[in-house]
Amino acid sequence: MYRYDEFDAAFVQERTAQFSDQVARRLTGDLNEDQFRPLRLMNGLYLQLHAYMLRIAVPYGTMNARQMRMLAHIARTYDRGYGHFTTRQNIQFNWPKLRDVPRILADLASVEMHSIQTSGNCIRNITTDQFAGAAADEIIDPRPVAEILRQWSSLHPEFSYLPRKFKIAMTGATADRAAIRFHDIGLQATTSKLGEIGWQVWVGGGLGRTPMIGKMISGFVPHEHLLAYLESILRVYNRYGRRDNKFKARIKILVHEEGLDSIRQQVEEEFAHLKGGVLTLPQEELDRITRYFAQPDYELVNQTTVDVAREKIVNPPYGRWLERNLNAHRQPGYVSVTISLKPVGGAPGDATDTQMDAIADLAERYSANELRVSHEQNIVLPHVKVTDLPAVYAALVDQGLADGNAGQITDIICCPGLDFCALANARSIPLAQELTRKFQSPERQAEIGDLKIKISGCINACGHHHVGHIGILGVEKKGTELYQITVGGDATENAAIGDILGHGFVADAVPDAIERLVDTYIARRTSADEPFITAYRRLGKEPFKEALYGNA
Amino acid sequence: MLDLALSPIRQHKPDKLRQLGIMSLNGMFDEMDGAGVLRQAVTELLPGDIAIVSSFGADSVVLLHMVAEVDRTLPVYFLETGKHFPETLAYVETLKRHLGLANVIALHPDPSDVARFDAGGDLWETDPDSCCHIRKTEPLDARVSGLGGWVTGRKRFQTAERGVLPHFELTADDRIKVNPLAYFSDADITAYKLKYGLPEHPLYSKGYKSIGCAPCTSVVAEGEDPRAGRWRGLNKKECGIHFDFNGAIAKPMAAQELNLFKDGKFIADPFRPWVEGDDPAAARYTHIPLPVFLDNRDAVLANPHPLGLLVSPGDKVELARGDLDRFVSIAINFPAFTDGRGYSSARLLVERYGYKGELRAVGDVLHDQISHMRRCGITAFVVRHEPTKKALIEGKLATVDIFYQPVGLTEIPLGTRPFLRRRAVENA
Amino acid sequence: MEILTGNELMSGATVYLDRDGRWVEELQQARIFGNEDLEAREAALAATRKTLRIVSLEVETVTLRDGIIYPDRIRERIRAEGPTAPRFDRQHLDEDGHVSI
């Protein structure tokens, strides 16, 4: 894992002091709210419905036990004993008071964390695959480059007042677990014809009011030129992205309106100037950063597999957990474990301070002191010995964190919705709770298999509804919450935006509507091995439309 | 701000005047009897304790003629700023001969001041107030601070700002200023010159109506305020050596705040905003909007005056890249602090096109963006937000001074790992 | 009918303008502005802005049912009650969070 040196430490300390000064000036009136708002947002501080909300970055989703314990401490000390993990590998606290925020930032700085650029019209937290550095299907660990991008983008003087927010996601694996096609820039590790590893660059993806799948702007950019290439894209966007309409200000609109070829040409022109300049990444610097992400000292273990089938008979909940919540590891005898933050009836992504402390203990004891936050709002223990799985599971059971539902219908991505969010039009958490209750039977979930439900409480799509196999979008119509259902979305390398099949439903009618979709799928799938999304692609909208709205 | 305080300790010699009363003194003389006023001052009020300061400008000859009439040994101080037209220096000699002035004393600026503040000789351009200060106020101050009073050539109608000017003024430190020409109009001056056949300043016939130092004097158009040619475009009307009626120091910039922050302090801004309808061929000391420049490129390039360029969001600086040297200043417009396009424009100008003149931020310039602006190469800031001004003056900007990304030309790599990590150059 | 609402700067707590010009936590104490009170409403907004202490200032339409103030928007009902799921008490004002106009 990356460790701050004196420079990094001084940087977050100076930033914390600067923010404290900004708060102080807001209190004296030297800054009015219009002047203060962009500043506090750039430091992750929102004003939501009931209170402030502080969003803290977990850069590229990686943290250690000490950092997780600090999050628990913050939850306990300044908040209400819990935090909410988000789709962009951040954590949000819903109840901090303005005067406490500088103290929270100082506490964070003491464990090498910050909330820099977790909001605002700037380059946001760089996100990546939650299994980075551990996954068996990985070409390269993306985190050293992600760390370099974090540094490059932190308080970038040219790109702090962009037309709109700017999100970068990257993956070093062949399977896209970071939704890179739905980011302003997506980076996919790839190998050139000469065998050199570099990056495929995708641009103009995004969700929100105008969902778009990113387009490939460059098939290969070597490490050494990546920063210059990204700076070129950002400069073109900063200069020519629309600023006249907030809803058309993302780079996806610029790419859409001007055309990929035109944008590519502008970026290439800029890149011709910047390439080979000060942003050229020296190999020794990449090597230096890479050393921080060295593989842990793995033990050579005799047992490298676990007999899931047997465990499913002996201890069905444990067996199901093994079946769903493990991810193949590059090191024999190890796996990555997904800790589900999606208990039946819970708020997706929430964890209490006690749970956070317990997870920190597990990381220390069983996962080389490493933790990950996934964009699906779960926590990952990336490096767990197969032989430690029973102990890990037992500890998770004690904390109510042992749901074996990763990737299943109850593993719902869900935004805070109208219960917390100032932008939302409808609630989303109660709906997620209702759906998890409806589909709580493990047998039923197993029968359904892989199915991703994603819920947003407004068109801004923080809950990624567009790319849910089943997506749910809350809207308000004449004082009533209505939910529009989309089907067929996919956030992976097979990127697709879900289809709207018809009118919305009132909240009470949604669980049954979802069940009808599920039943239609089960009835028409070729076999239990054909997942929902595959069946939908094969069958098309019609059967599902009929399931929702009948034949009329 | 200007510091115009004539030196602090002065002798008090006003008793006689106090008894007399300034009002009654002012009623004693006919409006046109300048020589009478002068005689009263030199022989009755302050014998041996008064001097005259003359610029040897277009109208100076009238007052000097009166001096010659009253007492040709009266000390006449001439501020030899080093910036005069050669014609002015020749005119000094002409008048000495013609009027028989026996005691003309040239006052030079302190060479150490010039070396320190105006080594390049262009202070007049960037900070005309300071230029006046070291070349006029300081030398004069040293000489007249011990006197009980002095004679000025100010006229009632010289500019609109001067308003009612009496023959005699009492300053706050109880000294007397004598204005023999207080009631003279331009026509009176012309008539007086004609009547006595006085020699004209050589530049007068060339259109100069009010003549000071060469760089700050221009031709006045027909019908224009005569002093309009002084500090034209500089928002400056007085050179700082005159006192107002109450004796308070007449601060020429007092009515206008100092908004330009540069080199660590707020200074007078020689530029005024471009106004719709300004003539690109004749404008001076204004930032021409980039689109206007592109439409009038030939006229602007032929315009001999100092000019700036205004770059607003959306403007493509690359279109002017070959002409940047034409502009002594480029203003990056931030109409709202949330509009970050100016940062890219600034970096392109400095880093790609090598612009080396003044790069200033104008518009919504606030505390928390200044460090970003600096990093992108902006060196001057037109600031109107009071708390921001205060923070700048007090040196209390809240900033992060170590940087991850290499940007601009004013950052230095840190330590043994020059990649990314930077620190600001001291005082940048 | 309308009420004025916002969030207090320090705590972020939801507050309403009451009849005495105080910004209070209780929705039912909110001052109701009718159509004829436009001037008073604008004056109250202006005076509030001057304090710099109430942010996200908004005019909300409400209905009176048996003397009970009932906001028209769901959002406002949730703001008044606190989150419905998970259920949490609202944010409260601190000692120094009391603002008057």
Per-residue pLDDT, B19: 45
Residues of C in contact with A97 (CB under 8 A): 10-12, 94
Q: Residue A329: give the domain boundaries.
A: 308-399
Q: Of A399, A421, A456, which closes a domain?
A: A399
Query: For A249, what's the count of Cα atoms within 13 Å in the CB-facing half-sphere?
Result: 16
Q: pTM higher than 0.90 for the full model?
A: no
| Rg, Å, chain A Cα set | 23
pLDDT in tens, B10-28: 344 445 445 455 556 676 7
| Residue A377 lies inside a defined structural domain of this protein | yes
Contact A/C (≥3 CB pairs under 8 Å): yes
Q: Chain A residue closest to C61 (CA)?
A: A479
In chain C, domain spans: 2-100
pLDDT in tens, A360-396: 999 999 999 999 999 999 999 999 999 999 999 999 9
Per-residue pLDDT, B23: 54
Q: Chain A residue closest to C6 (CA)?
A: A49
Domain containing residue A461: CATH number: 3.30.413.10
Rounded to whole angstroms, the Cα distance separating A230 from A201 reads 9
Per-residue pLDDT, B54: 84
Where do the H-state alpha helices sit in A405-531?
429-438, 442-448, 510-524
- Does residue C63 register a pLDDT over 80? yes
Residue C58 or residue B428, greater confidence: C58
Domain containing residue A365: CATH number: 3.90.480.20
Average pLDDT of span A414-434: 97
In sequence order, which residues have a C-beta less than 8 Å from that of residue A237 and are 6 or more positions away?
Answer: A162, A163, A166, A184, A251, A254
What confidence category does residue B424 fall into, taking pLDDT thresholds of 50, 70 and 90?
confident
CB contact at 8 A, A405 and A340: yes
Closest to B284 measured CA to CA, from B355, B368, B228, B206: B228
Per-residue pLDDT, B369: 97
Asked whether residue A161 falls in the same domain as residue A270, the answer is yes
**C79/A481 Cβ within 8 A:** no
Asked whether residue A153 falls in the same domain as residue A196, the answer is yes
Residue B150 or residue B6, greater confidence: B150
Residue entry with tokens 């590229």: A60
C interface with A, Cβ–Cβ < 8 A, is: 7, 9-14, 52, 55-56, 72-75, 78-79, 82-86, 88, 90-91, 94
**B367/A157 Cβ within 8 A:** no
Q: Chain C residue closest to A24 (CA)?
A: C10
| Residue A465 lies inside a defined structural domain of this protein | yes
| Residue A129 lies inside a defined structural domain of this protein | no
Q: Residues of B with catalytic annotation?
A: 239
| Residue A123 lies inside a defined structural domain of this protein | no
Which chains, if any, share at least 3 CB pairs under 8 A with chain B? A
Query: For B205, what's the count of Cα atoms within 13 Å in the CB-facing half-sphere?
Result: 5
pLDDT in tens, B93-110: 999 999 999 999 988 888
**C52/A49 Cβ within 8 A:** no
Per-residue pLDDT, B208: 75
pLDDT in tens, B109-158: 888 888 888 888 888 777 777 788 788 877 877 777 778 888 888 876 55
pLDDT in tens, A285-344: 999 999 999 999 999 988 888 999 999 999 999 999 999 999 999 999 999 999 999 999
CB contact at 8 A, B421 and B404: yes
pLDDT in tens, B47-61: 888 888 888 888 889
pLDDT in tens, A5-54: 989 999 999 999 999 999 999 999 999 999 999 999 999 999 999 999 99
For chain A, the domain total comes to 4
Average pLDDT of the residues of chain A: 96
**A97/C14 Cβ within 8 A:** no
Architecture of domain B15-229: 3-Layer(aba) Sandwich (3.40)
Concatenating the DSSP letter of every residue in A240-292 gives: HS--S-GGG-SHHHHHHHH-HHHHHHHHHHHHHHHTTSTT---HHHHHHHHHH
Asked whether residue A423 falls in the same domain as residue A526, the answer is yes
- Does residue B224 register a pLDDT over 60? no
Average pLDDT of span A66-92: 97
Per-residue pLDDT, B206: 79
Residue B414 or residue B69, greater confidence: B69
Element spanning B260, H or E: strand B260-262
Average pLDDT of span C60-81: 95
| Residue A12 lies inside a defined structural domain of this protein | yes
Task: Give how far B263 is from chain A: nearest CA, Å.
Answer: 21
In sequence order, which residues have a C-beta less than 8 Å from that of residue A349 and are 6 or more positions away?
Answer: A84, A85, A86, A341, A342, A377, A378, A414
| Residue A297 lies inside a defined structural domain of this protein | no
Rounded to whole angstroms, the Cα distance separating A79 from A77 reads 6
Task: Give how far C37 is from chain A: nearest CA, Å.
Answer: 25
Q: Point out the residue among A39, A158, A282 whose CB comes nearest to the CB of B347.
A: A158
Query: Are the folds of B15-229 and B260-424 the same?
Result: no
Which chains, if any, share at least 3 CB pairs under 8 A with chain C? A
pLDDT in tens, A454-496: 999 999 999 999 999 999 999 999 889 999 999 999 999 999 9
Asked whether residue A428 falls in the same domain as residue A534, the answer is yes
Q: Chain A residue closest to C56 (CA)?
A: A47
**A15/B419 Cβ within 8 A:** no
Rounded to whole angstroms, the Cα distance separating B375 from B373 reads 5
What does CATH list as the number for B260-424? 3.20.20
Element spanning A28, H or E: helix A6-28
- Does residue A526 register a pLDDT over 60? yes
ipTM of the complex: 0.96
Closest to C16 measured CA to CA, from C1, C32, C5: C5
Per-residue pLDDT, B356: 94
What confidence category does residue B416 fall into, taking pLDDT thresholds of 50, 70 and 90?
low
pLDDT in tens, B233-263: 554 544 444 433 223 333 333 335 789 999 9
| Residue A407 lies inside a defined structural domain of this protein | no
**A31/B375 Cβ within 8 A:** no
Average pLDDT of span B39-48: 83
What confidence category does residue B172 fall into, taking pLDDT thresholds of 50, 70 and 90?
low
Per-residue pLDDT, B232: 52
**C12/A98 Cβ within 8 A:** yes
CB contact at 8 A, A48 and A422: yes
Per-residue pLDDT, B111: 86
Q: Point out the residue among A25, A238, A279 whose CB comes nearest to the CB of B340.
A: A238
Asked whether residue A277 falls in the same domain as residue A192, the answer is yes
> Worst-scoring range by mean pLDDT, A420-429, B180-189, C2-11?
B180-189
| Residue A408 lies inside a defined structural domain of this protein | no
Average pLDDT of span A221-236: 97
Number of cross-chain residue pairs from A and C with Cβ atoms under 8 Å apart: 77
| Rg, Å, chain B Cα set | 25
- Does residue A400 register a pLDDT over 70? yes
Q: Point out the residue among C10, C79, C85 whose CB comes nearest to the CB of A347.
A: C85
pLDDT in tens, A114-160: 999 999 999 999 999 999 999 999 999 999 999 999 999 999 999 99
Per-residue pLDDT, C72: 92
Concatenating the DSSP letter of every residue in A86-147 gives: -TTSEEEES---GGGHHHHHHHHHHTT-B-TTSSSSSB---EE-TTTTTBTTBSS--HHHHH
Backbone phi, psi, residue B57, to 5°: -95, -160
CB contact at 8 A, C81 and A418: no
**C74/A426 Cβ within 8 A:** yes
Per-residue pLDDT, B258: 87
What confidence category does residue B229 fall into, taking pLDDT thresholds of 50, 70 and 90?
low
Asked whether residue A543 falls in the same domain as residue A488, the answer is yes
In chain B, domain spans: 15-229, 260-424
Per-residue pLDDT, B7: 34
